[in-house]
Amino acid sequence: MADLLAGFAFFLIIEGLVYALAPRFLVQMARLLPSIPPEQLRLAGLVSVTCGVGLVWLVRG
């Protein structure tokens, strides 16, 4: 449970940094999202999940 909470905390830290350090970039990216095909977004999400699982496996293994 502690690992899950630590992971969530890191997520919040990274998200907060994006909002604090690059708010204009975040707004531009949000404007671009509707123009990106759903398949491309889905693929990017799956790649991100795969990389995240791989990193956790390497670090914890």
Taking the C-alpha atoms of residue 6 and residue 32, their distance in angstroms, rounded to an integer, is 31
Question: 2-61 pLDDT, tens per residue?
Answer: 888 998 999 999 999 999 999 999 999 999 999 999 999 999 999 999 999 999 899 888
Q: How many residues does the chain have?
A: 61
Q: Are 53 and 46 in contact (CB under 8 A)?
A: no
DSSP 8-state code for residue 33: G
According to the model, what pLDDT value does residue 1 have?
Answer: 85
- Total count of domains within the chain: 1
pTM of the model: 0.70
According to the model, what pLDDT value does residue 3 have?
Answer: 85
Domain that holds residue 46: 2-60
